[in-house]
């Protein structure tokens, strides 16, 4: 009998990190798999679904503008509970550390449905950084039955928390699977590659293939107040001082980010404020940039595989591997720090070169197949 699996995701990063697993499960005759999308980031989620040509089986139409985290988690739990009772899966797969992850895990736990957690064991052990993600992932680990950890350090975190080692599996990170899917398509399909180039040419008003540019992103809740302001002030200074550099900033649609960015950086000649890009377009830009300024978790994982240095704009990161391997620098998001470390990479070519060595720190692009192999052996 086929194992009935329900994958539940809420944000675009979650979908990107689960896409290859979902697609591979769909092809496998041992499973019936369905996808539920909570719709935390509706427009951004649509982009990701289109890139991988995925149609969800369940779409929760959440109206979540300006609501509290408490209300959001309660709303997701209520709607997911209805779907779980209707679909009756043998296993629920959740990913990472979002409100959807936490709410869905709780709903499955209350119904006594086994839970598999992909990207398990990441920790800072500081509930304020990142907030509220660190709480979500710690809480989810307590009630999950199976834990797919990206690396050995993540596994050891779980073991130290008294999770049964026999239920922890090191697989690599599934985002590398998605990254390699796109990179392989770009390499194999010249028509597709040309399409991406033309699309980016329309979006950007400079020659990104010939000019130096830096990619900038920021979206985390703990950076809504001083972090985004400091970043914008630093970019203002850097753009004036280094006019031969361009700064591409796909601005998150959250008003806490968007409003401040427009106040500080609108109409700067070499700062390009654009809407969030489709994943394939973003990957193409990542390949061409000099380095990246970000507070994103996913980019910290993707960049080393592409040989792109990252300045991580956070107080703490649960992804220390790229810091240790010297592909990334962890920098508190304050104006003076951002300027200092950006200038270091702009002016010190030797350092930039050292940090630009490609490394498969977060996996080999086969995490999904490893997970499926384990799922076949698990008794449900």
Which of 14, 119, 177, 334 does the annotation list as catalytic?
A: 119
Q: Is 343 a catalytic residue?
A: no
Q: Is 95 a catalytic residue?
A: no
Mean pLDDT taken over the chain: 94
Q: What is the pLDDT of residue 63?
A: 65
Strand ranges (DSSP E) for the chain? Answer: 3-9, 31-37, 58-59, 91-95, 115-118, 146-149, 168-170, 212-216, 245-250, 271-274, 291-294, 310-313, 328-331
**Span(s) in the chain for CATH 3.40.50.2000:** 3-172+365-377, 189-355
**Backbone dihedral region for residue 326 (phi beyond 0: left; psi -120 to 50: alpha; all else: beta):** left
pLDDT, one tens digit per residue, over 71-118 is: 889 999 999 999 999 999 999 999 999 999 999 999 999 999 999 999
Tell me which of 3.40.50.620, 3.40.50.300, 3.40.50.2000, 3.30.70.1560 is the CATH number of domain 3-172+365-377.
3.40.50.2000
Which of 41, 219, 246, 272 does the annotation list as catalytic?
A: 219
* pLDDT higher than threshold 70 for residue 127: yes
Mean pLDDT of 182-208: 95
Q: Is 274 helix (H, G, I), strand (E, B) or coil?
A: strand
Q: Report the half-sphere exposure of 328 (CA within 13 A, side-chain side).
A: 33
pLDDT, one tens digit per residue, over 63-82 is: 666 778 898 899 999 999 99
Which of 24, 221, 236, 275 does the annotation list as catalytic?
A: 221
> How far is it, in rounded angstroms, from Cα 202 to Cα 209?
13
Whole-model pTM: value is 0.93
* pLDDT higher than threshold 70 for residue 326: yes
Q: What is the pLDDT of residue 50?
A: 92
Topology annotation, domain 189-355: Rossmann fold (3.40.50)
Which of 12, 14, 95, 97 does the annotation list as catalytic?
A: 97
Q: Is 219 a catalytic residue?
A: yes
Q: Is 295 a catalytic residue?
A: no
Which of 252, 272, 314, 319 does the annotation list as catalytic?
A: 252
Which of 12, 41, 123, 133 does the annotation list as catalytic?
A: 133
pLDDT band at 253 (very low <50, low <70, confident <90, very high): confident
């Amino acid at each position: 009998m086929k194992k009935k699996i329900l994958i539940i995701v809420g944000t675009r990063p979650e979908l990107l990190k689960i896409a290859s697993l979902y697609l591979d499960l769909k092809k496998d005759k041992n499973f019936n798999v369905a996808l539920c999308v909570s719709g935390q980031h509706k427009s951004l989620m649509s982009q990701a679904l289109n890139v991988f040509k995925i149609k969800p089986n369940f779409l929760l139409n959440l109206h979540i503008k300006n609501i509290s985290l408490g209300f959001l988690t309660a709303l997701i739990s209520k709607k997911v509970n209805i779907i779980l009772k209707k679909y009756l899966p043998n296993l629920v797969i959740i990913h990472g550390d979002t409100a959807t992850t936490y709410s869905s895990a709780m709903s499955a736990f209350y119904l006594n449905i086994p839970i598999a957690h992909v990207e398990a064991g990441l920790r800072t052990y500081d509930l304020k950084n990142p907030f509220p993600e660190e709480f979500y992932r710690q809480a989810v680990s307590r009630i999950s039955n199976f834990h797919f950890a990206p690396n050995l350090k993540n596994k050891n975190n779980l073991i130290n928390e008294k999770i049964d080692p026999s239920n922890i599996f090191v697989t690599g990170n599934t985002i590398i699977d998605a990254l390699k899917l796109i990179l392989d398509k770009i390499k194999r399909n010249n028509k597709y590659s040309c399409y991406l180039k033309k699309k980016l040419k329309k979006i950007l008003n400079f020659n990104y293939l010939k000019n130096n540019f830096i990619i900038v992103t920021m979206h985390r809740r703990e950076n809504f107040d001083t972090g985004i302001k400091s970043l914008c002030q630093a970019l203002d200074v850097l753009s004036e001082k280094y006019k031969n550099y361009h700064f591409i900033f796909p601005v998150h649609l959250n008003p806490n980010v968007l409003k401040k960015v427009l106040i500080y950086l609108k109409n700067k000649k070499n700062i390009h404020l654009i809407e969030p890009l489709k994943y394939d377009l973003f990957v193409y830009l990542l390949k061409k940039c000099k380095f990246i300024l970000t507070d994103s978790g996913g980019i910290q994982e993707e960049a080393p595989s592409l040989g792109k240095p990252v300045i991580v704009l956070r107080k703490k990161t649960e992804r220390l591997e790229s810091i240790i391997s010297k592909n990334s620098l962890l920098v508190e998001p304050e104006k003076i720090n951002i300027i200092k470390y950006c200038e270091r990479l702009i002016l010190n070519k030797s350092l930039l070169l050292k940090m630009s060595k490609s490394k498969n720190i977060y996996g080999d692009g086969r995490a999904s197949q490893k997970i499926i192999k384990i799922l076949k052996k698990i008794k449900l």
